[in-house]
């Protein structure tokens, strides 16, 4: 059935999450009609409450492991708990949301001829033997460890995206998102930035896992959202996944020190056991994103941490 409306209908699965809610904000700001689909497993209505009265915003409580029938022009498939604490809570459901969820959303895209973007992850590279990670690196993933439900789930989702493209001509895009931070990260999701900021604001010791020599590269949320939107708008002949992330690598210990300094905290650093299969180094090569999308992150760690710290400070003061 065709629609009368000429405004594009964009679906965001996981739309009430940290990234999803920022993406909904951006798309509403750009003039689209947004259908936010979320089952609120690891997300919060607080992230989207400000959009609820907007006539171009619609919230649909739904678990994408079950089929969904509606008319859409574009789908951003972000649904999946992304922090180890949340995705390891119910690992079978994590696999289902990545595999059954991808099949359902790809089926929807196939029927409606919608463009569909998959939020894949740097975790497809596992504990990488190749540094920095380029898109043609196939990864080093433990297929049965505690992170496998997420890593292998996301890898299988990529497989499904490329097979639906080759077999059914679905118009796909695959972004591999590296660590991202900013306001609306969940306070209790165990991610390093949220943990450290909250600990620093409470003047508690910062929990560095292992020696803190492992590295990550942290992208501010605004930059990431801009990358996702550019990828969706990119020409249809784009082939292969695209890394999105900030290529500035930092050790976890240095991140702890930067957060202590920026919060003016009296906190110290305390070493804790390193979780199993924790990747040693992670840093994106973003040449492809820069060439194809004319995209690169602009926010420095300091520029991104300031609003993040202000966000958590407000939450803590509100009790």
H/E element holding 270? strand 269-272
Minimum distance of ligand UDP from residue 215's CB (angstroms): 8
Q: Which pair of structure tokens corresponds to residue 170?
A: 């679905």
Q: E strand or H helix at 34, and its extent?
A: strand 33-38
Nearer to ligand UDP, 115 or 191 (CB): 191
Known catalytic residue at 181: no
In angstroms, what is the minimal distance from the CB of 192 to ligand UDP? Answer: 3
Helix-strand-coil split of the chain, %, nearest 5: 40, 20, 40
Please, what is the minimum distance in Å from the beta carbon of residue 298 to ligand UDP?
Answer: 22
- Pair of tokens at residue 139: 């990864």
Choosing from 150, 164, 181, 220, which is the catalytic residue? 150
What is the nearest approach in angstroms of ligand UDP to the Cβ of residue 291? Answer: 25
Binding site for ligand UDP (CB under 6 A): 83-84, 179, 190-192, 195, 207-209, 214, 216, 252, 275, 278
Closest CB to ligand UDP among residues 292, 315: 315
Q: Which is nearer to ligand UDP, 139 or 190 (CB)?
A: 190
Which of 308, 310, 121 lies closest to 220 in space, CA to CA? 308
User: How far is residue 89's CA from residue 150's CA, in Å, rounded to a whole number?
Assistant: 11
Note if the bond before 117 is cis, omega within 30 degrees: no
Query: For residues 245 and 88, what is the distance between their CA atoms, to the nearest angstrom?
Result: 23
What are the distances in angstroms from CA 210 to CA 4, 33, 194, 283, 303? 57, 45, 18, 19, 27
What are the backbone angles phi and psi of residue 254, rounded to the nearest 5°?
A: -65, -35
Identify whether the C-beta of residue 103 lies closer than 8 Å to the C-beta of residue 161.
no
**Residue 144 or 276 having the CB closest to ligand UDP:** 276
Query: Nearest to residue 127, comparing CAs of 149, 151, 144?
Result: 151
- Residue 82 CB, nearest approach to ligand UDP (Å): 8
Which CB sits closer to ligand UDP, 107 or 205? Answer: 205
Residue numbers annotated as active site:
150
């Amino acid at each position: 059935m065709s629609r009368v409306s000429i405004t594009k209908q964009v679906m965001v699965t996981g739309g009430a999450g940290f990234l999803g809610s920022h993406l909904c904000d951006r798309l509403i700001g750009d003039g689209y009609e947004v259908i936010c689909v979320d089952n609120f497993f690891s997300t919060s209505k607080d992230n989207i409450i400000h959009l609820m009265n907007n006539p171009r915003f619609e919230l649909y409580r739904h678990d994408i492991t079950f089929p969904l029938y509606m008319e859409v022009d574009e789908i951003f498939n972000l649904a999946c708990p992304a922090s180890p604490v949340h995705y390891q809570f119910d690992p079978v459901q994590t696999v289902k949301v990545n595999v059954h969820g991808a099949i359902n959303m790809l089926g929807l895209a196939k029927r409606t001829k919608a463009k569909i973007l998959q939020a894949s992850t740097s975790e497809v590279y596992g504990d990488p033997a190749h540094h920095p990670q380029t898109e043609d690196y196939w990864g080093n993933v433990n297929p049965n460890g505690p992170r496998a439900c997420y890593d292998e789930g996301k890898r299988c989702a990529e497989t499904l995206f490329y097979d639906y493209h080759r077999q059914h001509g679905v118009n796909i895009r695959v972004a591999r998102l590296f660590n991202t931070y900013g306001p609306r990260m969940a306070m209790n999701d165990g991610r390093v930035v949220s943990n450290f900021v909250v600990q620093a604001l409470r003047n508690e010791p910062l929990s560095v896992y292992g020696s803190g020599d492992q590295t990550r590269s942290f992208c501010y949320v605004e930059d990431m959202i801009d990358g996702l939107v550019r990828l969706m708008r990119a020409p249809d002949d784009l082939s292969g996944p695209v890394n999105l992330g900030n290529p500035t690598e930092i050790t976890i210990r240095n991140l702890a020190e930067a957060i202590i300094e920026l919060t003016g905290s009296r906190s110290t650093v305390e070493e804790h056991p390193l979780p199993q299969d924790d990747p040693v180094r992670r840093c994106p090569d973003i040449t492809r994103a820069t060439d194809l999308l004319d995209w690169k992150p602009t926010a420095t760690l300091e520029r991104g941490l300031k609003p993040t710290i202000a966000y958590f400070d407000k939450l803590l003061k509100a009790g």
